[in-house]
Structure 1
Amino acid sequence: MLSKNRIKYINSLKIKKYRQLHEAFIVEGAKSVLELLDSDFRTEFVLVTQEFQQKYSTILTRHNVPVETVTVQELEGLGAFQTNDSCLAVAKTKENAFLSPVPGEYMLMLDDVRDPGNLGTIIRIADWYGITRIVCSRDTTDVYNPKVIAAAKGSFTRVSLYYTDLNQYFGNIKDKNQKVIGAFLGGSPLYDFKYPADGGIIVMGNESNGISDRVAEFVTNKVTIPRFGAAESLNVGIATAVMLDNMRRQVPV
């Protein structure tokens, strides 16, 4: 049976200030936990059902991680998932390390993306299209939010995020001629745009307000996803997928 202290500790990690205090976060579900164990994140402990422990005993033993067997009811009472019949892990967060543009590669920049589900989806999309680095404004939701981790489906182990003041970031990067492609409602049609082969930064903005005026000053190419129907706007996760898909058609990995 789980101790009261452990229950209290796990529940505290659902709140940002306690994640920052303990430098730890929650990962739920078999796929995400197994990818966590195979990553360079440090895992504090794993709570598993008896069935999960039997099925993955070799993997759990190989990683030498503290494991505690719990019931399905205990798991569901702890996590953010409505149903979780496998496992839950607590891992240590990583340092907020500077991410510099790399010549020949594309990176994402998120300007005030607030919805955890959107951020998790964008991380997963970035992983699909081979983007390994995302620079986020300080107002962008916390990557270690349980809803972000859940939506990322394990991709958070392969995509690095860096939170900073975006205006300062542009002042700190060495290449002042860096191409910066931003998604705007009033930009040039995306399908006519030629992505530079030598890489750059693709900027996606806030769900309601788009890219802020301050960040827009650094955008060298404003593009828009052409609309053919009557929808008012696109979800930022879907818009990111369209932007990256068109980029990869022109600039293979």
Structure 2
Amino acid sequence: MAEGDKIVPELLQEGVPVKEVYATAAWISTHRTLLDRTPGVRVTEVDEHVLKQLSALTTPNQALALLDIPAATDITPGSLKGTVSLALETIQDPGNLGTIIRIADWFGIRQIICSPDCVDAYNPKTIQATMGSIARVRILESEILPFLQQAGVPSYAATLHGNDITQFSKLEEGIILIGNESRGLSDAVIGASTHKITIPRLGGAESLNAGVAAGIICGRLLI
């Protein structure tokens, strides 16, 4: 389920398999041309109080879409050559995961590998946080360690005690590893990575939010 006056049109434009749209009369009128270009989508006009009942949000929007979960992605370890990917281990907060998907889209990262114990990438709160980027980033659920061992590309594990990211040149190929919000990456995954990286700390904060850390690392290594 995806909600949002901006998210729903973006998903329709990107060709995501939207099955149904529930929206106010005003929203339908505004987006009539787009809806006419996407045959097969059933559109149901509803009042705002009905949307509030359907919505998972405290403040509902004017449109809600029901989508098919995409078929299993074809990402394989051998397909990562010449690309940059994100791998996430045990991310628990749907807002964090959605934000990281949005960050990946911003920086042109087209695939994310999530460990099986990550929060569901298709949780409505995750979808909401992606702001439509879920349409452009492929998600694979896989155990991180064996995937890492077979990938054949450099890997960069975000830790509190790695090498300063400002000392690295622009990343052209590799996997950026982000760990759990409170525990970080597992020792096994850190040990299997080819590089341990750290965002320089200038103040007294103990750690960074996983989404914030992913954004800083991508901004430094990919531009």
Would you call these one fold, judging by a TM-score over 0.5?
yes
Cα pair 2:3 2:61 within 8 Å, conserved? no
Q: Name the structure 2 match of 1:78.
A: 54
Measure the CA separation in 1 of the matches of 2:132 and 2:18.
14
Offset, 1:196: 4.5
Aligned equivalents of 1:89 and 1:154: distance in 2?
12
Alignment of 1:22-171 (within 5 A): 26-64=1-39, 65-100=41-76, 101-171=79-149
Three-state SS of the structure 1 residue aligned to 2:67 is strand
SS of match in other structure, 1:239? helix
Q: Does 1:219 align with 2:197?
A: no
Match of 2:183 in 1: 209
Which residue in 2 is equivalent to 1:8?
none
2:92, 2:180 within 8 Å by CA — same for their partners in 1?
yes
AA matched with 2:177? V
2:154 is matched with which residue: 166, 174, 179?
179
Q: Is the 8 A contact 1:193 1:223 kept in 2?
A: no
| Contact 1:29–1:86, Cα closer than 8 Å, also in 2 | yes
Say how many residue pairs are matched.
Answer: 220
Match of 1:194 in 2: 169
Determine the C-alpha separation between the residues in 1 that align with 2:150 and 2:71.
19
Q: Is the 8 A contact 1:52 1:86 kept in 2?
A: yes
Provide the TM-score with structure 1 as the length reference. 0.83
User: What CA distance in whole angstroms lies between the structure 2 residues aligned with 1:203 and 1:152?
Assistant: 19
2: CA distance, partners of 1:97 / 1:151:
21
SS of 2:65 mapped into structure 1: strand
Kindly state the Cα deviation for residue 195 of structure 1 after the two structures are TM-superposed. 4.3
Per-residue CA deviation, residues 40-97 of structure 1 (Å, 9 max, x unaligned), is 3211111010100111111111112111100011111111122224110101001222
- Runs of 4 or more consecutive aligned structure 1 residues displaced over 3 Å after TM superposition: none
Over residues 90-132 of structure 1, what are the superposed CA-to-partner deviations in whole Å (9 max), with x where a residue is unaligned?
0100122241343322110001111000000001111111111
In the aligned structure 2, how far is the partner of 1:104 from the partner of 1:247?
Answer: 15
- Stretches of structure 1 that go unaligned for 5 or more consecutive residues are 1-25
8 A Cα contact 1:49 1:85, kept in partner: no
Question: 1:171 & 1:230 partners in 2: Cα distance?
Answer: 35
Cα distance in structure 1, aligned partners of 2:67 and 2:113 = 22
2: CA distance between counterparts of 1:193 and 1:172?
Answer: 23
- Percent identity of equivalent pairs: 38
**What is the aligned-residue RMSD (CA, Å)?**
1.3
Shifted more, 52-61 versus 155-164: the winner is 52-61
**Pair 1:39–1:215, CA change in 2 (3 A):** same
- Cα deviations by residue, 1:151-195 (Å, 9 ceiling, x for unpaired): 00000000111001112323443x2xx100110001111111234
